[in-house]
């Protein structure tokens, strides 16, 4: 449908972060079906360990040589992201990153687009809570001109006034469009309400983006793009022997503009759980989101959290999808995700359903959160949900881009680069009791914030009956710059 | 999201080879080896294509059925897609959702999608599970059984899919509207997802009839790519698929001809959901197997692919009239549809944006494209193709599409020279032939709030 869908994909699908393929050593989950042949002996996946070096200017460079097509993927990542947006300027990091391709000291925006695309290359920027990055994919044969361009984009952005205004108009239109989609609205709102000050919308809001000045952008660029704060990860049909000198040549002279005075942001106090209905009178479907604060990326129970999330809402046969879609036909899909960062984390479940079934979907989700704490997960089912995680890793390792992403994630959180080699074992070690412990500590129903974006005239009455403390916020009064979600007073 | 993504476009975006011709870059055309597939047709008519590759211990299995939403029964718009969902339910020997037990439960994945001309079921699994998937695909081809409860629940799921895709997306109904209005006679005018009323009208009897009519070995292409021993694979396919009989009844085909458009037309429609006006311009185009196919790959890329493309550069970047622009050369089996859609930037008058869009399209017929543009298009198509080949699934998709949509699996290897040979003159000739005023339909899709205002002015 992409040809007739002018804007991005629907939120509920976007939330299904786990992708599922690959392989698991054993299939202990026996199914008895007449005529069905048994699986054969598995072929094991092998994860190579990349070469790793830090240049004198502090830039860490990670190179993985891979067989396959003559392609190369690279990610230049900054170990800081949206969390560094100053107060009143939500969206600044995203906005700054989006301007890197919009002009350097020697090339204007159309020339950059033309030069990248003529190389058969693609460069995309990304800003998440604690990471900002540029991701390059190109032909191996064009490694040098492509990486030279990447270096120029990061080191010599022009931030021309004209480009800033152009990007501002585009961003504001994007934000307006997002506010028409119940899935997007509910997701931004539930994250904001759950993590309080630590969760402004990554792309900002209409007022905050309107406030951003060139000075803010230049300062944010200087704060983020410093060699000692960056990691360059490369994978593809390249050799470490050729790539390290090439990177040294193109990035070795990079120095930071000014001394680094930024201190890591402090985590904000967690918000109180709430039940919020955002009234969208034209919503053709209601988006139902339940979220609770969760663990950090470095937490000891991270693998337990990932497996718990897979049991509740990972894949087609997760408990949520079974109950909501397969058994009851209430949604095209229900899923959950666990998003973990350096300083915080969030567990989130979502589904879109007709307005009439929104409350039923909330209750089905709550039932599954509670069940994980009270009942041990049957071993054979647990094995299948673990396979989702290991399978996703195995499939990611088929492509350069996903391999780079996996390695970059390890480097970002200071894990050893050979960690993927015991990923299978780490997942395998999680036991039913670990999931119960995790659920009791991190998935208690009374810690969840519930946000529904849909038609109040249908949803409000039954929702209030179930949750008397319900707050109803008309879409026109929604303020994502505030943890209260409500526009402050009248001005 | 699993089970049953819906794709009306026939995947043409990703399948193309090209070379780069700028001397500074690699001579990429010569460095792309052909895909070394093999093929045979079973006595029951099943076309079987395989490609051995042991790079990763995985295998991709796909079945392409030559049936799509254009084959929806009368009064049952959306049925081919609903049926695709039902294929995940029970068979004579498999309970509902067994496909998920055999794929995601062991670290694999599965999905399916329905397009105008084809319905595709695909799985990727650890290679030691390949035989089980072949068994299961043969089982649901030959022994689908459906009960009332499963049928009704899955129909509700499809209705939620409709709400999510069409109603919850501010431009969802716009997309459906463009499809409906672009064809007057041919069943391509029916959106793949259908509508709630016709979904509700469908019965379990329709399911059985549809399976019997279209889900048969001589209407399918099986593709396996990845880690397997060829001799074992041949035996498995013979054992599980070879025993399925070939029905005697002929396969019904759509024979309706879409009449040529005879005059330019503009339709104005209002909808409360879109925050910004949208405009679509469509032209009837050549069929998928037309010799013009490679030309339209180039045109799609140079008009709408990436920030160096003409429509982005002019309408979004330079003139700032549009928030987004898309150009699709959707060459379907019976005839193609060239669709250009634009969401306007805030505050831009519709007439102004529309005129600029049409002027940009018209330019393609009046002036030759530059060598630089041609070179960018080629390199981007080349890179897209290489990226597809990184995975077993990508290779299997390319082969399945080549066999089903283009009628020849070797199309994966012959498209490269064809695209290489595309000249600026050919681009101009195709544009002159199809992108004419007479062949043009313009749809203005406006926020409801503009209704009163528009009337007042006129």
**Domain for residue A29, yes or no?**
no
Does residue B16 surpass a pLDDT of 50?
no
Q: Please state the rounded mean pLDDT for residues B391-409.
A: 96
A405 token code pair: 């992403």
Residue B98, pLDDT score: 94
Does residue B24 surpass a pLDDT of 50?
no
Verify whether the Cβ–Cβ distance A317 to B97 is below 8 Å: yes
Verify whether the Cβ–Cβ distance A177 to B170 is below 8 Å: yes
Beta bridge partners of A132: A78, A127
Q: Which of A20-29, B141-150, B209-218, B269-278 has the lowest mean pLDDT?
A: A20-29
Is residue A284 domain-shared with residue A225, that is, in the same domain? no
Residue A267, pLDDT score: 64
B286 min Cα distance to partner chain A (Å): 17
Distance between CA atoms of B367 and B157, rounded to whole angstroms?
Answer: 49
Verify whether the Cβ–Cβ distance B330 to A3 is below 8 Å: yes
Is residue A180 domain-shared with residue A90, that is, in the same domain? yes
- Nearest CA to B82 among B150, B14, B183, B130? B150
Contact B338, B326 (CB under 8 A): no
Is residue A443 domain-shared with residue A318, that is, in the same domain? yes
Mean pLDDT of chain B: 90
**Domain for residue A196, yes or no?**
yes
Among candidate residues A251, A286, A320, the one where a domain is terminated: A251
**Domain for residue A132, yes or no?**
yes
Is residue A78 domain-shared with residue A126, that is, in the same domain? yes
Closest partner CB to A176 (pick from B139, B275, B375): B275
CATH of the domain at A160: 3.30.830.10
Q: Please state the rounded mean pLDDT for residues B20-46.
A: 70
Q: Please state the rounded mean pLDDT for residues B383-410.
A: 95
Is residue A158 domain-shared with residue A280, that is, in the same domain? no
Contacting residues of A for B376, CB less than 8 Å apart? 114, 117-118
| Domains in chain B with CATH codes | 5-22+35-241 (3.30.830.10), 265-457 (3.30.830.10)
Cβ of residue B153 closer than 8 Å to a chain A Cβ: yes
Q: Please state the rounded mean pLDDT for residues A42-49.
A: 77
Distance between CA atoms of A306 and B439, rounded to whole angstroms?
Answer: 54
Residues 4-43 of B with CB under 8 A from A: 6-9, 13, 20, 22, 24-26, 28, 31
Torsion sign over Cα B377, B379, B382, B383: negative
List pLDDT tens digits, range B278-311: 999 999 999 999 999 999 999 999 999 999 999 9
Does residue B156 surpass a pLDDT of 80?
yes
**Domain for residue A34, yes or no?**
no
Residue A30, pLDDT score: 62
- More confidently predicted of A491 and A420: A420
Closest partner CB to A399 (pick from B175, B278, B390): B390
A488 token code pair: 């402050």
Minimum Cα–Cα distance from B330: chain A residue: A3
Give every strand in the sheet of A131-139, ordered side by side: A51-54, A60-65, A230-236, A71-78, A131-139, A122-128
B86 token code pair: 């039902």
Q: Which of B104, B114, B377 to mutate to test the interface with A (most CBs of A within 10 A)?
A: B104
% of chain B at pLDDT higher than 90: 83
Verify whether the Cβ–Cβ distance B382 to A139 is below 8 Å: yes
Q: Which of B7-11, B165-169, B299-303, B398-402 has the lowest mean pLDDT?
A: B7-11
Closest partner CB to B323 (pick from A45, A117, A173): A173
Among candidate residues A200, A218, A251, the one where a domain is terminated: A251
Question: How many domains, in total, are found in chain A?
Answer: 2
% of chain A at pLDDT higher than 90: 79
Verify whether the Cβ–Cβ distance B157 to A16 is below 8 Å: no
DSSP state of A317: T
Minimum Cα–Cα distance from B164: chain A residue: A285
Distance between CA atoms of A27 and A23, rounded to whole angstroms?
Answer: 10
Among candidate residues A217, A251, A285, the one where a domain is terminated: A251
Q: Please state the rounded mean pLDDT for residues A181-207.
A: 92
Q: Please state the rounded mean pLDDT for residues A71-98.
A: 96
Verify whether the Cβ–Cβ distance B131 to A326 is below 8 Å: no
- What stretches of A196-239 show up as alpha helix (H) in DSSP? 206-211, 214-224
**Domain for residue A446, yes or no?**
yes
DSSP state of B339: E
Verify whether the Cβ–Cβ distance A4 to B306 is below 8 Å: no
Residue A340 parent element (H or E): strand A334-340
Contact A392, B104 (CB under 8 A): no
Verify whether the Cβ–Cβ distance B175 to A1 is below 8 Å: yes
Torsion sign over Cα B18, B24, B30, B31: negative
* Alpha carbon of residue B214 to chain centroid: 19
Residue A273, pLDDT score: 95
**Domain for residue A265, yes or no?**
no
List pLDDT tens digits, range B81-140: 999 999 999 999 999 999 999 999 999 999 999 999 999 999 999 999 999 999 999 999
Residue B400, pLDDT score: 98
Instruction: Judge residue A268's burial from the number of C-beta atoms within 10 Å of its C-beta, 0-12 exposed, 13-18 middle, 19 or more buried.
Output: middle
A21 min Cα distance to partner chain B (Å): 4
Mean pLDDT of chain A: 90
Is residue A311 domain-shared with residue A365, that is, in the same domain? yes
Cβ of residue B143 closer than 8 Å to a chain A Cβ: no
Is residue A370 domain-shared with residue A236, that is, in the same domain? no
Does residue B277 surpass a pLDDT of 70?
yes
Minimum Cα–Cα distance from B389: chain A residue: A69
Contact B199, B155 (CB under 8 A): yes
Closest partner CB to A114 (pick from B175, B272, B308): B308
Residues 41-100 of B with CB under 8 A from A: 55-58, 93-95, 97-98, 100
CB-defined contacts A:B, below 8 A = 333
A194 min Cα distance to partner chain B (Å): 24
- Please spell the DSSP secondary structure of A103-172, one letter per residue: -BSS--HHHHHHHHHHTT-EEEEEEETTEEEEEEEEEGGGHHHHHHHHHHHHH-B---HHHHHHHHHHHH
Does residue B418 surpass a pLDDT of 70?
yes
Is residue A294 domain-shared with residue A223, that is, in the same domain? no
Is residue A369 domain-shared with residue A433, that is, in the same domain? yes
Q: Quick one: pLDDT band at residue A118, thresholds 50, 70, 90?
A: very high
Q: Please state the rounded mean pLDDT for residues A28-51.
A: 80
Q: Quick one: pLDDT band at residue B31, thresholds 50, 70, 90?
A: low
Verify whether the Cβ–Cβ distance B93 to A36 is below 8 Å: yes
Is residue A318 domain-shared with residue A428, that is, in the same domain? yes
Residue B454, pLDDT score: 53
Is residue A235 domain-shared with residue A317, that is, in the same domain? no
Verify whether the Cβ–Cβ distance A139 to B166 is below 8 Å: no
Cβ of residue B379 closer than 8 Å to a chain A Cβ: yes
Residue B27, pLDDT score: 38
List pLDDT tens digits, range B357-392: 999 999 999 999 999 999 999 999 999 999 999 999
Q: Quick one: pLDDT band at residue B416, thresholds 50, 70, 90?
A: confident
Contacting residues of B for A387, CB less than 8 Å apart? 104-107
Verify whether the Cβ–Cβ distance B323 to A329 is below 8 Å: no
Is residue A222 domain-shared with residue A341, that is, in the same domain? no
Does residue A23 surpass a pLDDT of 80?
no
Does residue B443 surpass a pLDDT of 90?
yes
Q: Quick one: pLDDT band at residue B453, thresholds 50, 70, 90?
A: low
Q: Which SS3 state, helix, strand or coil, does residue A418 take?
A: coil
List pLDDT tens digits, range A293-316: 999 999 999 999 999 999 999 999
Residue B12, pLDDT score: 27
Verify whether the Cβ–Cβ distance B306 to A329 is below 8 Å: no
Verify whether the Cβ–Cβ distance B9 to A2 is below 8 Å: yes
Closest partner CB to B124 (pick from A10, A179, A395): A395
The boundaries of the domain holding residue A409 are: 275-417+424-477
Residue A320: which residues within 8 A CB-CB, separation 6 or more?
A312, A313, A334, A335, A336, A349, A351, A364, A365, A368
B171 min Cα distance to partner chain A (Å): 7
Q: Quick one: pLDDT band at residue A445, thresholds 50, 70, 90?
A: very high
Minimum Cα–Cα distance from A177: chain B residue: B275
Q: Quick one: pLDDT band at residue A43, thresholds 50, 70, 90?
A: confident
Q: Quick one: pLDDT band at residue B22, thresholds 50, 70, 90?
A: very low
Cα–Cα distances in angstroms (integers) from residue B337 to residues A288, B268, B281, B296, in the given order: 37, 20, 10, 11
Cβ of residue B114 closer than 8 Å to a chain A Cβ: no
Q: Quick one: pLDDT band at residue B7, thresholds 50, 70, 90?
A: very low
* Alpha carbon of residue A342 to chain centroid: 14
Residue A264, pLDDT score: 66
């Amino acid at each position: 449908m992409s040809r007739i869908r002018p804007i991005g994909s629907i939120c509920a699908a976007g939330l299904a972060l786990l992708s599922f393929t690959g392989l698991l050593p054993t299939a202990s989950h026996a199914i008895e079906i007449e005529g069905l042949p048994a699986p054969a002996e598995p072929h094991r996946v092998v994860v190579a360990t990349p070469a790793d070096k830090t240049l004198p200017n502090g830039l860490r460079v990670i190179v993985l040589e891979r067989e396959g097509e003559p392609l190369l993927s690279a990610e230049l990542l900054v170990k800081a992201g949206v969390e560094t947006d100053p107060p009143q300027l939500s969206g600044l990091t995203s906005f700054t990153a989006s301007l890197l391709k919009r002009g350097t000291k020697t090339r204007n925006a159309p020339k950059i687009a033309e030069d990248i695309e003529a190389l058969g290359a693609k460069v995309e920027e990304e800003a998440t809570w604690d990471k900002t990055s540029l991701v390059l994919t190109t032909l191996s044969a064009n490694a040098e001109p492509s990486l030279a361009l990447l270096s120029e984009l990061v080191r010599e952005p022009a931030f021309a006034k004209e480009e800033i205004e152009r990007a501002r108009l585009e961003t504001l239109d994007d934000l307006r469009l997002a506010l028409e989609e119940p899935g997007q609205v509910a997701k931004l709102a539930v994250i904001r309400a759950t993590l309080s000050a630590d969760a402004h919308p990554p792309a900002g809001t209409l007022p905050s983006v309107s406030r951003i000045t060139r000075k803010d952008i230049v300062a944010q660029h200087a704060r983020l793009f410093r060699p000692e704060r960056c990691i360059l990860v490369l994978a593809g049909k390249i050799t470490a022997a050729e790539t390290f000198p090439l990177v040294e040549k193109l990035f070795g002279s990079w120095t930071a503009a000014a001394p680094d005075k930024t201190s890591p942001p402090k985590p904000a106090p967690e918000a109180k759980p709430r039940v919020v209905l955002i009234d969208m009178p034209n919503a053709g479907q209601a988006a139902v989101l339940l979220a609770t604060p969760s663990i950090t990326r470095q937490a000891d129970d991270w693998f337990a959290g990932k497996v718990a999330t897979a049991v509740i809402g990972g894949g087609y046969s997760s408990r949520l999808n079974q109950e909501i879609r397969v058994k009851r036909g209430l949604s095209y899909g229900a899923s959950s995700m666990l998003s973990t960062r350096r300083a915080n984390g969030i567990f989130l479940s979502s589904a879109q359903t007709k307005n009439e079934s929104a409350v039923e979907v909330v209750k089905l989700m709550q039932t599954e959160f509670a069940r994980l704490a009270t009942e041990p997960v049957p071993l054979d089912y647990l094995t299948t949900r673990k396979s989702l995680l290991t399978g996703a890793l195995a499939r990611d390792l088929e492509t350069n881009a996903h391999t780079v992403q996996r390695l970059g994630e390890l480097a970002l959180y200071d894990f050893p680069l050979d960690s993927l080699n015991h990923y299978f074992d780490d997942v395998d070690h999680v036991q039913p009791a670990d999931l119960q412990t995790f659920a009791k500590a991190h998935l208690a129903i009374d810690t969840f914030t519930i946000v529904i974006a849909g038609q109040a005239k249908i949803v409000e009455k039954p929702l209030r009956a179930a949750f008397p403390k319900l707050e109803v916020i008309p879409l026109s009064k929604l303020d994502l710059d505030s943890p209260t979600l409500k526009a402050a007073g009248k001005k | 999201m699993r089970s049953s993504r819906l794709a009306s476009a026939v995947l043409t975006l990703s399948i193309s080879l090209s070379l780069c011709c700028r001397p500074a870059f690699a001579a990429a055309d010569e460095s792309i080896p052909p895909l070394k597939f093999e093929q045979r047709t079973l006595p029951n008519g099943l076309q079987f294509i395989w490609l051995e590759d042991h790079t990763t211990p995985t295998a991709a299995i796909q079945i392409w059925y030559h049936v799509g939403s254009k084959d929806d029964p009368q009064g049952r718009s959306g049925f081919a897609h609903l049926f695709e969902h039902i294929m995940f339910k029970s068979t004579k020997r498999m309970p509902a959702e067994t496909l998920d037990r055999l794929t995601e439960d062991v670290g694999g994945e599965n999905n399916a999608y329905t397009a105008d001309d084809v319905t595709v079921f695909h799985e990727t699994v650890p290679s030691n599970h390949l035989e089980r998937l072949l068994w299961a695909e043969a089982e649901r081809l030959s022994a689908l059984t459906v009960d009332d409860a499963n049928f009704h629940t899955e129909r509700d799921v499809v209705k939620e899919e409709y709400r999510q895709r069409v109603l919850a997306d501010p431009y969802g109904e716009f997309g459906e509207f463009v499809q409906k209005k672009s064809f007057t006679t041919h069943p391509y005018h029916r959106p793949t997802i259908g509508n709630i009323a016709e979904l509700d009208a469908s019965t379990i009897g329709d399911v059985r009839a549809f399976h019997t009519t279209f889900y048969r070995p001589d209407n399918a292409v099986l593709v396996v790519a990845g880690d397997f021993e060829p001799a074992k694979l041949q035996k498995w396919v013979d054992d599980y698929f070879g025993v399925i009989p070939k029905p005697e009844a002929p396969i019904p085909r759509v024979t309706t001809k879409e009449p040529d458009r005879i005059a330019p037309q503009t339709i104005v429609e209002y909808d409360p959901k879109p925050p910004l006006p949208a405009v679509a311009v469509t032209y009837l185009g050549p069929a998928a197997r037309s010799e013009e196919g490679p030309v339209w790959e180039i045109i799609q890329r140079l008009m709408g692919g990436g920030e160096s493309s003409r429509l982005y550069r002019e309408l979004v970047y330079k003139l700032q009239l549009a928030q987004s622009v898309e150009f699709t050369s959707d060459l379907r089996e019976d005839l193609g549809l060239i669709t250009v859609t634009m969401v306007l930037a805030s505050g831009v008058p519709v007439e102004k944006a529309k005129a600029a869009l049409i002027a940009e399209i018209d330019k393609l017929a009046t002036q030759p494209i530059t060598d630089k543009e041609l070179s960018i298009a080629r390199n981007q198509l080349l890179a897209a193709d290489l990226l597809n080949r990184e995975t077993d699934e990508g290779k299997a998709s390319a082969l399945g599409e080549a066999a089903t949509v283009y009628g020849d699996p070797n199309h994966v290897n012959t498209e490269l020279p064809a695209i290489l040979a595309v000249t600026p003159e050919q681009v101009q000739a195709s544009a002159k032939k199809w992108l004419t005023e007479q062949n043009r339909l313009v749809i203005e899709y406006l926020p409801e709030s503009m209704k009163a205002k528009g009337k007042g002015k006129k």
